[in-house]
Amino acid sequence: MTMNLTSSAFQHGHEIPQRHTCQGGDLSPPLAWSDVPANAKSPVLIVDDPDAPDPAAPKIVWVHWVLYNSSPTAGGLAESAAGVQVPPGTLAGTNDWKRVTYGDPCPPIGRHRYFFKLYAIDATLPDLGKPSKSALEKAMKGHVIAQAHLLGTYQKD
């Protein structure tokens, strides 16, 4: 069985609606996950953009959102969860704006890809403070038992 990650706001590979970007409501999109393995203890969500700053010449992967220790039975996140309306026990890491909430897509040039990556891990992680993406990836190394991703794109008007 394959773990799934979807959004009612956009389909995989399609454009993220403006309301979920810096040109709209700046709201995190609703996310739903299913088929999480029975032995999963904690979903981890990382949202990043590998096309920064320019898709024609990417230089960095820009991190938009980092969440961990969510409940494996939560089934997802409501629209505008943004790190404050998350399932009990969920902890937030620091994105590249140095914030612990959702950082909306706001590409400076061109159409960027945004990867919403969900990992099921077989452990509940200790409170890592407000870890960066790389610190969280290091902490979950060896514990990933399943993963799913959702791809959205966006280009400013």
Q: What is the dihedral of CA 96, 118, 149, 97, to 10 degrees?
A: -10
Average pLDDT, the chain: 94
The domain in which residue 34 lies consists of 4-154
pTM for the structure as a whole: 0.95
Pairing verdict, β 144-154 and 14-15: parallel
Q: Dig out the tokens for 110 from the structure.
A: 């061109």
Q: How many CB atoms lie within 10 A of CB 141?
A: 9
Tell me the average pLDDT across 22-30.
Answer: 90
- What confidence tens digit (pLDDT) does each residue in 63-103 have? 999 999 998 889 999 998 865 578 888 999 999 999 998 99
The pLDDT of residue 26 is above 90: no
- CATH number for the domain harbouring residue 14: 3.90.280.10
For the chain, how many structural domains are there in total?
A: 1
- What confidence tens digit (pLDDT) does each residue in 43-63 have? 999 999 999 999 999 999 999
